[in-house]
Structure 1
Amino acid sequence: MQSWAEIVVDVQKNWFLYASMPFVAAIIGYVTKIVAIRMMFEPIEFIGIKPPYLGWQGIVPRKAAIMASIACDTMTQKLIKPEDVFDKLDPDRIAQEIEKPLLEAVEDITRSVAEQYAPGLWEAAPETVKRMIISRIQEEAPEIVRQIMTDIKSNINSVFDLKDMVVSNLLRDKPLLNRIFLEAGHGEFRFIRNSGLFFGFAIGCVQAVVWAVTQNVWVMPLFGGFTGWFTDWLALKMIFNPKQPTKYLGGLFTWQGLFLKRRLEVSAEYGRLIAAEIVTPHNIIDAVLRGPLSDRLFGMIQKQVQRVVDAQSGVAKPFVVMAVGSSKYQEMKRLVSQEIMKRLPATMQHIEKYAHDAMDLERTLATKMQDLTVEEFENLLHPAFEQDEWILIAVGAVLGFLVGELQVHVMLHFAAH
């Protein structure tokens, strides 16, 4: 330990190095935060030697299934339910929106099926008869759509799996999962990055005093490691704690977890992202038509198509059955249902704008998020930090230690000269 006189001489001789210590510590704090944030999200895929002992994959992409499941649980249990999606859709308006492409599809399907199952009869029939048959089926087409939409709304949970749709989209698109966390928590990540400067600078001032007094070679690396560790740990804690506004230092300042304080802003941003990227009309329609419950939808369509075909056959049904055979008649109805199912994805694209406006999911999500409890709201973002956060803090400490070790060599070099 140096005497006061020795300290004064050393500081005068190496004043620039002493003055640089707080700034170097601030840089350590800042850089370790940037590294920590990048390690949370990058790289998307594992880089290194597998099994993953020598390498890294961003925490969020690596834990994509867990992240997606947590986000989805909050979303589907607290924010939005399948009924919220479909109850706002009017079957009559949907039939109106897709009338033109639907009528074209019906004509193509009718001609195709008739030519396949009764080629001789269909070709021999006058064009006026063909047009009459097509027109009669077209007249019933909007009613088929209305009935199918009514069936879907009455049995929504049997044809639409909201959780499967959300998780599938997030797992398939890991960059999108990253974007949701990054954009919803952009204020928090900015705070983490900038906090490293201020916390690091304060620690650097203490470091300069300790070095002046002790001249111990362990001061620099230990303070560097402490700066990297402590600033990472403190920044993460300050984002979610305390839950309620709390006064500190005798009421000199008040602090509430930053994420919780930005509740209104985060709600609006989160609602916008989910409505624009995940729970979209396109994804919903795709999930209904191609999702794990699509077989049940096909059953609904088949029931409605068979009803219409039988009704339109009328008195001619016995002759149609006689001409093509009973089994072929049933097969023909199934084929019509299959063809309608195939055409639906392209046909339903015409209702996406109407569905977007009618569902108004962005406002629905943002409004319901404001009704969440503090703990439920915290779960929207906290999982991204909780998963393996000790690794991020440890990396910050190691980087800080290494920079501190470099610092001590520089100090000793100048002291020797």
Structure 2
Amino acid sequence: MPFIAALIGYITKRVAIEMMFRPLEFVGIKPFLGWQGVIPANARRMATTAVELLTQHLVDPREIFARIDPDRMVAELEQPLLHAVEDVTREVMEQHQPRLWEMLPAQAQRMLIRQVRAQAPKVVSKLLREVSANIDEVLDVNDMLITNMVRDKALSVRLIKEVAQPELRFIARSGIYFGFVIGLVQFVAWALTKEPLIMPIFGFVTGFVTDWLALKMIFYPRERRHFLFFSWQGMFQKRRQQVAADYGKLIADEVLTVRNVLEAVLNGPKSDRLFALIQREVQRTIDQQASIAKPLVALTVGGRQYQEMKRAASAKAIEHLPEALRYAEDYATGALDVRNTIVDKMRQLTPVEFEGILRPAFKQDEWKLIAVGAVIGGLVGELQVLLLLH
């Protein structure tokens, strides 16, 4: 009986753990006949909680993006930027003023391209400074993080599963020990009474108590406490140095990446503001270059066509932007230093704040896991009765 109770304890823990993470999508007949892993089913809620922790306690977008040196970024982007400027100039002129462009001598074409290329680094540096100083205007960090975590449910699972691996192993192993102890009590109760109800009741209790106790022991007590001859601290709190390192690496490598930031800036809810900034600077540069001969340009090209050329140049610049910025991805990743920032800030959190990293994965729906463990334990206990009596 103690060994079967230990087996019940282990099985119920393994089932509870798997039910947290699998399946990623709902399997069965919605809304009630079926199951979806607790974390995937609540991906938005958990992502929102994780993002609140990140933005309130760990990452200040203004502080992070202020680390990027615009001049260094321009240096990293120099070659792709100059190629892009030349392509944009040629494409716009060939599309909107093909005759005028063909009439220009090759030397005049090159001179025009050189003039625009000479201005490009200054314009980009100015844009980067403006974006860095007003990052909230062009990037919704919360929306970016939540969108990426909800879109990729497997990522939400990894954020919990990889960070909490030792805790999950402890939950499974604890079922064996707690179950064995309860099984000893069950053995005595059966020997004294031979009551068939003993088995399912103890099976139910084994599944319920061991699940509940294991989950509590992960997080509590938050500070080390002494109990008679031994001391204990919640495993998650005890491992905070390693948890901080693992969590910081996952966030830096999978969530708050330069590529995700770039996608959010270009396609997120505030992307129109960035495009307005680019459009303004590109058109201002064109006006400056044409300022000396502006009346002649307007006469030759036409006022309306001149405005269309400026808009086309802005659109082409925006079109070339993603590819050009990829060349500075390594520099930007190192400059932002997201991993070390998160690790340092996490180690400064209070125990309650630190608990908020993993606790939301269990708290709201842990009763379901405990209930399933209790039911499985009860069913196995009933099976024991059938084996013993028949």
Identify the TM-score tier after normalising by the shorter chain: over 0.9
Matched, 1:46 2:26: yes
2:296 aligned with 1:316, yes or no?
no
How far 1:359 moved relative to its partner? 1.3
**Match among 276, 300, 325 for residue 299 of structure 1:** 276
For residue 402 of structure 1, what is the aligned residue in structure 2?
379
Q: Does 1:170 align with 2:137?
A: no
Q: CA deviation at 1:241?
A: 1.0
Distance 2:250 2:133 in 1: 29
How far did 1:85 drift?
2.3
CA deviation vs aligned residue, 1:306-334 (integer Å, no higher than 9, x gap): 22111111322222211222122122112
1:315 match: secondary structure:
coil
Aligned equivalent of 2:250: 273
| Secondary structure class of the residue paired with 1:371 | coil
Find the counterpart in structure 1 of residue 263 from structure 2. Answer: 286
Q: What is the RMSD of the two structures over their aligned residues, measured on CA atoms?
A: 1.0
TM-score, normalised on structure 1? 0.92
| Partner in structure 2 of residue 257 of structure 1 | 234
Equivalences for residues 27-46 of structure 1 within 5 A: 27-46=7-26
Q: Specify the code of the residue in structure 2 equivalent to 1:49.
A: I
- Which of 98, 111, 114 in structure 1 is aligned with 2:77? 98
- Structure 2 counterpart of 1:143, which letter? K
Task: Find the structure with the greater CA-based Rg.
Answer: 1
Aligned residue in 2 for 1:11? none
Q: Which runs of 5+ in 2 are unaligned?
A: none
Q: Deviations over 1:58-109 (max 9, x none)?
A: 1111111100000000001110011132111010111111111111111111
* 1:142 alignment counterpart: 121
Instruction: Please tell me the residue identity of whatever aligns with 2:253.
Output: A
- Residues 292-371 of structure 1 aligned to structure 2 (within 5 Å): 292-371=269-348
**SS of residue paired to 2:231:** strand
Residues 381-396 of structure 1 correspond to what in structure 2 (within 5 A)? Answer: 381-396=358-373
Q: 1:10 maps to which residue?
A: none
What letter corresponds to residue 261 of structure 2 in structure 1? I
Could you say which residue in structure 2 is the equivalent of 1:7? Answer: none
Q: SS of the residue aligned with 1:48?
A: strand
TM-score, normalising length from structure 2? 0.98
For residue 182 of structure 1, what is the amino acid of its counterpart? K
Shift in Å at residue 280 of structure 1? 0.7
Q: Is the 8 A contact 1:94 1:351 kept in 2?
A: yes
Residue equivalent to 1:195: 174
Displacement of 1:244 after TM fit?
Answer: 1.1
C-alpha distance in 2, partners of 1:314/1:127? 22
Cα distance in 2, alignment partners of residues 319 and 28 from structure 1: 89
- The residue type equivalent to 1:367 in the other structure is D
Maintained 8 Å contact 1:30/1:193: yes
Q: Contact (CA 8 Å) 1:117, 1:324: kept in 2 or not? A: no
Amino acid at match of 1:192: I
Residue 68 of structure 2 corresponds to which residue in structure 1?
89
Q: Does 1:58 align with 2:37?
A: yes
Structure 1: 5+ residue stretches without partners: 1-20
Residue aligned with 1:175, SS: helix
1:3 corresponds to: none
Distance 2:58 2:304 in 1: 48
Asked if structure 1 preserves the Cα contact closer than 8 Å seen for 2:65 and 2:336, the reply is yes
Contact 2:62 2:133 in 1 (8 A): no
SS across alignment from 2:196 = coil
Amino acid aligned to 1:305:
V
Q: Which amino acid aligns with 2:199?
A: M
1:185-226 CA distance string (max 9 Å, x none): 111111111110110111111111111111100111111111
> Secondary structure of the residue that 2:360 maps to in structure 1?
helix
Distance 1:87 1:154 in 2: 7
The offset of 1:387, in angstroms, is 2.4
Residue number among 160, 180, 196 corresponding to 1:181 in the alignment: 160
Q: How many residues align?
A: 390
Deviation at 1:404, TM superposition (A): 0.6
Tell whether 2:4 aligns with 1:24.
yes
Contact 2:199-2:385 within 8 A present in 1 as well: yes
